[in-house]
């Protein structure tokens, strides 16, 4: 046998092995999902709709989802992508844009009260120069060089 043929057969064998392995994994994941989908669980569909599973009809492949109080929709059973589990939310992380802005404003006020000079346009503390900036020691401010001044 030719070494090239042996190499090609080895590559083919590896590809077939991974194909069967992935198929087995996918079947196990589908079976796990199927056992986790029970009425009363929060689920998400393939198209991003969240709701509480009310009932599943195996014969007609339909699932009843309650997406809001009193609003029940019927979807195909196979569109249920996953069961939504409650996650541990980081309590220090802001839950809304307004809360994040309030935190940022509070931090800016704290920096101002400590005497750190702020650039109001970009809210960047000017106390330390950025990498590559020169500091004008008389004014204690970073000096930005433009292309025109650098050429001179």
Which pLDDT value is given to residue 97?
85
- From first to last of its 152 residues, the chain has per-residue pLDDT tens of 789 999 999 999 999 999 999 999 999 988 888 888 889 889 999 998 999 999 998 889 899 999 999 999 999 988 998 888 876 555 677 778 888 888 888 888 887 777 666 555 555 555 666 677 666 666 555 555 555 554 55
Q: What are 83-87's contacts with CB under 8 Å, separation 24+?
A: 83/33, 83/36, 83/37, 83/41, 83/42, 83/43, 84/41, 84/42, 84/43, 84/44, 84/50
Domain boundaries, the chain: 1-36, 37-87, 97-151
**Token pair 């069961």 in the structure block, residue:** 83
Measuring CA to CA, which residue among 53, 35, 36 is closest to residue 44?
Answer: 53
**Which CATH number is associated with domain 37-87?**
2.30.30.100
Looking at residue 74, its pLDDT comes to 94
Asked if 45 contacts 66 with a C-beta cutoff of 8 angstroms, the reply is no
């Amino acid at each position: 046998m030719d070494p090239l043929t042996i190499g090609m057969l080895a590559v083919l064998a590896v590809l077939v092995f991974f194909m069967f392995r992935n198929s087995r994994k996918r079947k196990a994941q589908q079976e796990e999902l199927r056992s986790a989908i029970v009425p009363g669980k929060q689920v998400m569909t393939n198209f991003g709709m969240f709701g509480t599973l009310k009932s599943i009809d195996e014969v007609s492949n339909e699932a009843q989802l309650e997406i809001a109080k009193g609003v029940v929709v019927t979807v195909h059973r196979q569109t249920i992508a996953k069961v939504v589990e409650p996650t541990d939310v980081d309590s220090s992380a802001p839950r809304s844009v307004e809360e994040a802005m309030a935190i940022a404003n509070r931090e800016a006020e704290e920096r101002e009260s400590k005497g750190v000079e702020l650039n109001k346009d970009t809210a960047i503390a000017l106390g330390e120069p950025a990498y590559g900036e020169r500091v004008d020691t008389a004014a204690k401010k970073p000096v930005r060089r433009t292309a025109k001044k650098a050429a001179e």
